[in-house]
Structure 1
Amino acid sequence: NTFINEAFPSEVSDNLDTGENASRIYLKGGAGTYAEIKLFDETDGKEALDQIKANNWIINEANLVFYVDKTPGVIEPPRLYLFDTETNFPLIGSNDEFDASSSLRSYPFYGGVIEQSDASNIKYTVKITDYLNDLVVRNAENVTLGLTITPDIRQIAVSNAMLANDTEKELPVYATVSPLGTVLFGSDLEAANTNKKLKLEIFYTETD
């Protein structure tokens, strides 16, 4: 199947694939957009990872928290899909629970489900505890993570997609099923929105 979207507005297209920290993260189903996230790279965050290792902290929980830059009238996707771009598998822990009867109840520890306290405060929280522990304890490779939307997290198939630069890349199939999209606040924000900056939350126990 071939999906073709109309061209994105310049405010979106000019901020895609810039190689720099983004002020906004644009996600769109269909023939849309996805994002790549690199945690703890040489420029941003490696010192934090080294500090965790040096202090031998025990990681109890780690989350990525994405806040929505809400546009009135837009229906937000029910869930985000965070995956390892090397293996194309979602960051779901081995002990998480599959629910055959419900997508939103499947993998509750992973999370990623939309949370809304009021019209202007909408967020998604994705748990990455196992991923961070693999980096700290097992010296796993700090791979690039992919982020897109999904109408059903139980479906993890991938297929080749043609990108804007005429290269092919395997991406989650179910991101193309939904027409929904969202705009998330990134890490390089203007002062007025710093409280909605993309957050990495780490809860840890200090050891003697």
Structure 2
Amino acid sequence: MIYTTNNSIFPDQVVPEEEKKSFEYGLKVGNAIEQEWFRNNSGQNRFSYNFQNFNRLRLYARGEQPIQKYKDELSTNGDLSYLNLDWKPVPVLSKFVDIVVNGMTNKGYEIKSFASDPFATQQRTDFAFNALRDIQQKDNIEELAKLTGQNFYASADPESLPNDPGELDLYMQLNYKQSVEIAEEELINNVLDFNKYEETKKRLAYDLTVLGIAASKLVLIYPKVLLSIM
């Protein structure tokens, strides 16, 4: 049996899973959502209230709020003939909004990809082992190269290797990069640039600052990925 609790227009959630899958239960949920957002006996629904409230907050943030309430406070029985004032609002809030938004949108990071699959891990281990061997045996390898004219280095670029084995860990973190990691970083950055991510991020930060809420929608259109603001 599907019923509604006393404090909610939504049907009871503590029901068997089979009952939740029924058409009747889904219809109850849909009607409750419609009543909550678009129909209200008091005359103002949640959607209209949020729409008007967000519009009012944006006007205040831009310094374009209605000035009638200021006139009502300063007028004498509705008469403003004795007042010679500039009623244009001073955009004080907009300066603080810009400061907060700029602080939120400053990109203090970079996209870094790290391959952790078994094949990539084995490649990284082999590279580190060969690099350590070349560092430790550098003198012997160079001596053999002088005698035989052959290259006995296991690393592709031994000149870039550090001289101290203790610096190998730092070298691996700063300089070693696999091709799949580079490709992944380029792909992510390309998607962000194509979707104008910085501009979208700034608009999201603006809504978070002014409205207290922000949302975006991800649209997948093969072979493109589009990020649109909501």
Fold shared by both chains (TM-score > 0.5): no
Give 1 or 2: higher helix fraction.
Answer: 2
Give 1 or 2: higher strand fraction.
Answer: 1
Query: Which structure exhibits the higher relative contact order, with contacts defined as CA atoms closer than 8 Å and separated by 6 or more residues?
Result: 1
